[in-house]
Amino acid sequence: MTTLTPGARRILDVASELFYAHGIHAVGVDTIAAESGVTKRTLYDRFGSKDALVAAYLRARDERWRARVTAAVEAETEPVRRALAPFAVLADWVAEGSRGCAFVNAFAELDDADHPGRAVIDEEKRWLRELFAAELTAAAVPDPDGLALQLFLLHEGALVTHAVAAEPGAAAAAGAAARALVRSAQVSSMDGDNRPYCSPAGGT
């Protein structure tokens, strides 16, 4: 995201709080401008449109999430722990927001596939899945792409379950399941490596 002026930052901060708490469609530019202490003209001068402001809100949240996950990954040296690092930060992340995943919420509201916010959502989800795949590959875990999808599904399911089902243990449960999946993949690989060679039927 480009560097914002103090006024633009104030607008974005206010809009972010309102969009997350009340939903994108429920919050108009009049409300955002009033609570930011600026005129609508100033808001449009800084962001161009409400759609662009929504995209900026999602981009800022994406950048915060990526920074947190990246720091957790880089803090680990053991390959498997690096692959599971996104789960290590999940509990604290969901505890900071009562309405679950901002990207899932926004996706439900943004019907137009060409809305600039949709591209941000797509990039955020793809980035996390690709991070799982890259770290699992580095850890030499079998079928890293397939396992990455499973971890991604656990991660996203925890976000929704924490918010919709009000289950405070969702993040921890997802992390435990992710560890079990990775261990199972490693054990299966070792069993395969150690399995005696059997010649094909009819072979000598």
Place of tokens 């150690």: 194
171-196 tens-digit pLDDT: 999 999 999 999 999 887 666 554 44
Instruction: Report the distance separating Cα 43 and Cα 139, nearest Å.
Output: 47
Residue type, 148: A
Instruction: Report the distance separating Cα 172 and Cα 79, nearest Å.
Output: 20
Q: Where are the domains of the chain?
A: 57-188
pLDDT at 165 (0 to 100): 87
Q: Is the pLDDT of residue 1 over 60?
A: no
For helices 50-74 and 29-36, the axis angle rounded to 10 degrees is: 70
Instruction: Report the distance separating Cα 50 and Cα 134, nearest Å.
Output: 36
Q: Is the pLDDT of residue 38 over 70?
A: yes
Query: Which class for 196: exposed (0-12), middle (13-18), buried (19 or more C-beta within 10 A)?
Result: exposed
Which CATH architecture fits 57-188?
A: Orthogonal Bundle (1.10)
90-141 tens-digit pLDDT: 989 988 877 889 999 999 999 999 999 999 999 999 999 999 999 999 999 9
